[in-house]
C-alpha cells in the first residue's frame, strides 16, 4: 500500500525519535550500572574504614591495659570510657552497613559477637587490680588476648573482602565507562548513517518528486504540458494528477477561447509596452487582409497613417503610464492600402505587461453618418426651401388680395397649417442632428434662474390663462453658467407639455435648487403621469406616452429629444419622476462649473 505524505513525514520524524529514545535508555542503564558500582565501592570503602577504626579502638584499649602502671586510675578510666564508647559506636555503624549476603552475614555476626565479648572482657580486665590479684589478671589478659587475636583475624578477613569488593566494583566501573564511551561513539555513527538513510529516502520519495511537481507547475504556468508524471499514491501524486487534468481542461478552454476570438467580428489583440503586436485573432484577416502571422511582432504604428502616428502613440502611452482605459478612433492601412475606419478600446494589464485592445470596424457607421449628413443637408436645402416657397405662396393667396370662395379658404388654411407643421418637424430634426454632430456651439454666459423662468413664462402665459391653469413661480434666484436661449427653450418645452396634459383649473409648480455641484430646475404638473416603463425612453426621438398624442395633442415626439440634446451639451442630466394618475415632475440639472 502506498504511503501518504503525512505517513512519510511521521516516519521521518518517528525513526529518529525512537532511535534517540533507545539510545537514552541504553545510556541511562549504563549510567545506572556505573552509579551502582560507584555506590558499592563507596560502601565497601566506608565499611573498611569503620573496621579499621574499630580495630584501632580495641588496639588502644589493649595498649591502655598494658600501660596502666604508667597512668593514673582517673586518666585510665576516662580514656577507657571514651574508647569503649567509640568502639560501640563503630560496631553499631558496622552493623548498619554490614552486607546482608549469606556468604558474608556469618562473618559480620561473628565480628559483632566477638566485638561485644571483647569489649566486655576489656571492661572486666580494667576493673582487676593487677598488683593484688595477679593470677586473675593474667587469666583475664590471656582470655582478652585470645579474643583480640580472633577479632583481629575477623577484621582482617572482612577488610580483605571489602578490598575485593572495591576492586571488583572498580573493574565494573571501568567496564561500564568503556561501554558508555563506545555507545556514545556508536550512536554518533548510527545518527549519521540514519540521517543519511532518511535523507536518501526523503529525496527518493518526496524531494525529487516535489521538484518534478514544481517543474510541472512552471510548465503549466507557461502554458506548456507537464512533461513528467509523479508516481505513487500520496498527496504529491494526487496534486500532479490534478495538474495534468487542469492542463487538459485549460487546453480545452483555450481552444474554445481561441475559437471564440477567431470567430469574433471584432479584432481582439494585445500590444507590449513597445506597442508591438504580441497576439491577434483571425478577424484581422477579414477586416484588414493581414493574417495573424503577418502582424504578430509588427509595430502597431506601422498600420497607422503617418499623419496620425504621433497622436495615436501618445494616447496609448498615456494609457500604459496611467493604467487607464483609452478609447479612440483610428484609420488602419489595410493590405490593399485602403483605409479602414476603426474604433479602439485599450486597457493596460500590469500582470501580463500587455495592452489589450478591442477594435471595431466603424467604416459602415461612418458611411451612414455621412449619408445622414447628406440627407440633413438635402432636407435643409432641397426640401425646406421649396416648402418655404409654397408656404409663402399660400400666405400670399390667403392675404386678402385675391377673391376666393369660402371652401377654397378652408383648404388653403388646412394646407397652411400642415406646411407649418411639416416645416416645424424639419426644423426640429435639423436641430437634433446639429446637436448630435456638434455643429451647434452653446453661447455660455453668466445667467440666473429668474431670467430663465421669466422668459419661459412670457411664452406660455397666454395658454395658461386660457385654460385657467395656475403656474407657481419660485421666489429663489440662483446664478449659473449656460446658454440662456437654449435653457429657456427646454423650460418652455417642459411648461408646454405640462399645460398640454394638465386638466383645467389645476396648478403647475416650477422649483429651483442649487448645490455645490449643480443647479436644478423642475416642473411639476397634475396631469395623467408617465408610466414607469416609459420614463427611461420618453426622451428618445418620436417617443410619446400615448400614440394618440400625435394627433390629439399635436405632438411630434421630438421636443424632449431636443431638450435632452441641449442639456447633454451643457454636460448636465435630464429626467422625469412620475406616478400614473398623480402627475409628473420633469427636471434638468446643469453643473455649476458648466
Q: What is the pLDDT of residues 483-497, one digit of tens each?
A: 898 899 899 989 988
CA-wise closest residue to 592 among 514, 491, 523, 521: 514
Angle among Cα 110, 65, 87 to the nearest 5 degrees reads: 40
Q: Give tens-digit pLDDT for 46-104.
A: 777 777 777 777 777 667 666 654 555 555 567 667 777 777 777 777 777 675 555 56
In tens, the pLDDT along 148-165 reads 777 777 777 777 777 777
For the record, the C-alpha cell of 484 comes out as 440662456
pLDDT given at position 523: 94
Rg (CA), the chain: 62
Cα-based distances in Å from 216 to 208, 230, 234, 351: 13, 9, 17, 21
Q: How many CB atoms lie within 10 A of CB 540?
A: 13
- The residue-averaged pLDDT of 94-115 equals 67
pLDDT of residue 328: 92
Does residue 513 carry a pLDDT above 70? Answer: yes
Residue 589 bridge partners (DSSP): 520, 573
Mean pLDDT of 556-563: 76
**Cβ(523)–Cβ(500) below 8 Å:** no
Grade residue 129 by pLDDT with cuts at 50, 70 and 90.
low
Q: Is the pLDDT of residue 333 over 50?
A: yes
8 Å CB contact between 205 and 8:
yes
- Judged against a pLDDT cut of 80, whether residue 454 lies above it is answered with yes
Residue 496's closest CA among 469, 530, 519, 476? 469
Cα separation of 60 and 66, whole Å? 10
> pLDDT-derived band of residue 533, with 50, 70 and 90 as boundaries?
confident
- Three-class DSSP category at 130: coil
Q: At what angle do helices 73-97 and 102-127 cross, to 10 degrees?
A: 170
- pLDDT of 206 reads 67
* Range from 271-285, 306-320, 430-444, 547-561 carrying the lowest mean pLDDT: 547-561
What pLDDT band is residue 452 in, cutting at 50, 70 and 90?
A: very high
Contact in structure between 175 and 47 (CB atoms under 8 Å): no
Is residue 545 scored above 60 in pLDDT? no
Q: What is the pLDDT of residues 408-433, one digit of tens each?
A: 667 777 776 777 666 666 666 666 66
For residues 109-116, average pLDDT: 72
Q: How far is CA 540 from the centre of its chain?
A: 46
- CA-CA distance, 234 to 8, in Å (whole number)? 9
pLDDT greater at residue 261 or residue 408: 408
Does the pLDDT of residue 278 top 60, yes or no? yes
Q: Give the residue, 560 or 86, on which the prediction is more confident.
A: 560
Q: Which of 179-188, 237-246, 394-403 has the lowest mean pLDDT?
A: 394-403
Q: Which of 208-222, 229-243, 467-481 has the highest mean pLDDT?
A: 467-481
Is pLDDT at 589 greater than 90 in this prediction? yes
- Residue 375 pLDDT greater than 80, yes or no: no
The pLDDT of 248-255, averaged and rounded, is 71
Does an H or E element contain 358, and which?
strand 354-361
User: Between 543 and 500, whose confidence is greater?
Assistant: 500
CA distance 390 to 416: 9
Query: Per the structure block, which three cell numbers stand in for 482?
Result: 449656460
Report the mean per-residue pLDDT for the chain: 77
Average the pLDDT over 102-126 and give the result.
68
Q: Maximum Cα–Cα distance for the chain, whole Å?
A: 207
CA 586 to CA 81: how far, in whole Å? 135
Pairwise pLDDT comparison (136 vs 310), residue with the higher score: 310
pLDDT category at 244 given cuts 50, 70, 90 is confident
Return all residues near 490 (Cβ < 8 A) that are at least 6 apart: 563, 566, 567, 574, 588
- Written in H, E and C, the secondary structure of 368-430 is HHHHHHHHHHHHHHHHHHHHHHHHHHHHHHCCCCCCCCHHHHHHHHHHHHHHHHHHHHHHHHH
Q: State the pLDDT confidence band at 551, using cuts at 50, 70 and 90.
A: very low
pLDDT at residue 547 tops 70: no
Query: What's the pTM?
Result: 0.42
- The secondary structure element, H or E, covering residue 565 is helix 559-569
Given this model, what pLDDT does residue 548 score? 47
What's the rounded mean pLDDT across residues 466-490?
Answer: 91
Amino acid at each position: 500500500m502506498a504511503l501518504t505524505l503525512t505517513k512519510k513525514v511521521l516516519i521521518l520524524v518517528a525513526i529518529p525519535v525512537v532511535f534517540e529514545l533507545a539510545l537514552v535508555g541504553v545510556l541511562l542503564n549504563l549510567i545506572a550500572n556505573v552509579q551502582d558500582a560507584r555506590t558499592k565501592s563507596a560502601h565497601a570503602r566506608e565499611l573498611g574504614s569503620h573496621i579499621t577504626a574499630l580495630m584501632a579502638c580495641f588496639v588502644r584499649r589493649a595498649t591502655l591495659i598494658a600501660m596502666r602502671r604508667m597512668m593514673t586510675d582517673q586518666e585510665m578510666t576516662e580514656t577507657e570510657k571514651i574508647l569503649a564508647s567509640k568502639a560501640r559506636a563503630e560496631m553499631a555503624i558496622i552493623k548498619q552497613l554490614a552486607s546482608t549476603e549469606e556468604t558474608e552475614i556469618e562473618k559480620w555476626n561473628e565480628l559483632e559477637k566477638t566485638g561485644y565479648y571483647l569489649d566486655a572482657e576489656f571492661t572486666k580486665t580494667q576493673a582487676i587490680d593487677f598488683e593484688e590479684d595477679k593470677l586473675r589478671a593474667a587469666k583475664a589478659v590471656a582470655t582478652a588476648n585470645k579474643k583480640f587475636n580472633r577479632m583481629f583475624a575477623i577484621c582482617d578477613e572482612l577488610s580483605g573482602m571489602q578490598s575485593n569488593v572495591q576492586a571488583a566494583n572498580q573493574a565494573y566501573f571501568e567496564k561500564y565507562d568503556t561501554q558508555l564511551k563506545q555507545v556514545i561513539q556508536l550512536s554518533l555513527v548510527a545518527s549519521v548513517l540514519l540521517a543519511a538513510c532518511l535523507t536518501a529516502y526523503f529525496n527518493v520519495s518526496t524531494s525529487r518528486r516535489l521538484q518534478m511537481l514544481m517543474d510541472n507547475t512552471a510548465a503549466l504556468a507557461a502554458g506548456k504540458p507537464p512533461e513528467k508524471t509523479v508516481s505513487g499514491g500520496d498527496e504529491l501524486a494526487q496534486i500532479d494528477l490534478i495538474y495534468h487534468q487542469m492542463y487538459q481542461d485549460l487546453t480545452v478552454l483555450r481552444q474554445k477561447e481561441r475559437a471564440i476570438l477567431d470567430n469574433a467580428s471584432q479584432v481582439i489583440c494585445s500590444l507590449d509596452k513597445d506597442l508591438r503586436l504580441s497576439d491577434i485573432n483571425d478577424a484581422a484577416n477579414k477586416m484588414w487582409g493581414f493574417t495573424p502571422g503577418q502582424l504578430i511582432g509588427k509595430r502597431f504604428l506601422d498600420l497607422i497613417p503617418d499623419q496620425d502616428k504621433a497622436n495615436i502613440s501618445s494616447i496609448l502611452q498615456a494609457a500604459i503610464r496611467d493604467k487607464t482605459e483609452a478609447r479612440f478612433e483610428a484609420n488602419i492601412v489595410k493590405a490593399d492600402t485602403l483605409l479602414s475606419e476603426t474604433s479602439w478600446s485599450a486597457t493596460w494589464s500590469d500582470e501580463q505587461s500587455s495592452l489589450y485592445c478591442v477594435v471595431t470596424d466603424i467604416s459602415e457607421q461612418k458611411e451612414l453618418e455621412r449619408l445622414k449628413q447628406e440627407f440633413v443637408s438635402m432636407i435643409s436645402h432641397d426640401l425646406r426651401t421649396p416648402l418655404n416657397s409654397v408656404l409663402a405662396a399660400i400666405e400670399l393667396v390667403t392675404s386678402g388680395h385675391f377673391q376666393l370662395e369660402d371652401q377654397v379658404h378652408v383648404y388653403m388654411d388646412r394646407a397652411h397649417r400642415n406646411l407649418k407643421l411639416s416645416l416645424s418637424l424639419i426644423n426640429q430634426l435639423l436641430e437634433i442632428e446639429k446637436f448630435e454632430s456638434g455643429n451647434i456651439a452653446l453661447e455660455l454666459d453668466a445667467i440666473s434662474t429668474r431670467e430663465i423662468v421669466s422668459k419661459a413664462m412670457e411664452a406660455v402665459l397666454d395658454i395658461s390663462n386660457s385654460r385657467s391653469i395656475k403656474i407657481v413661480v419660485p421666489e429663489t434666484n440662483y446664478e449659473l453658467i449656460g446658454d440662456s436661449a437654449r435653457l429657456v427653450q427646454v423650460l418652455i418645452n417642459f411648461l408646454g407639455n405640462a399645460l398640454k396634459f394638465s386638466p383645467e383649473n389645476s396648478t403647475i409648480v416650477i422649483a429651483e435648487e442649487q448645490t455645490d455641484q449643480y443647479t436644478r430646475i423642475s416642473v411639476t404638473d397634475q396631469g395623467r403621469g408617465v408610466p414607469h416603463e416609459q420614463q427611461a425612453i420618453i426622451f428618445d426621438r418620436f417617443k410619446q406616452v400615448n400614440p394618440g398624442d400625435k394627433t390629439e395633442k399635436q405632438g411630434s415626439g421630438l421636443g424632449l429629444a431636443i431638450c435632452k440634446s441641449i442639456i447633454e451639451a451643457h454636460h448636465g442630466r435630464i429626467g422625469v419622476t412620475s406616478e400614473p394618475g398623480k402627475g409628473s415632475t420633469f427636471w434638468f440639472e446643469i453643473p455649476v462649473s458648466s
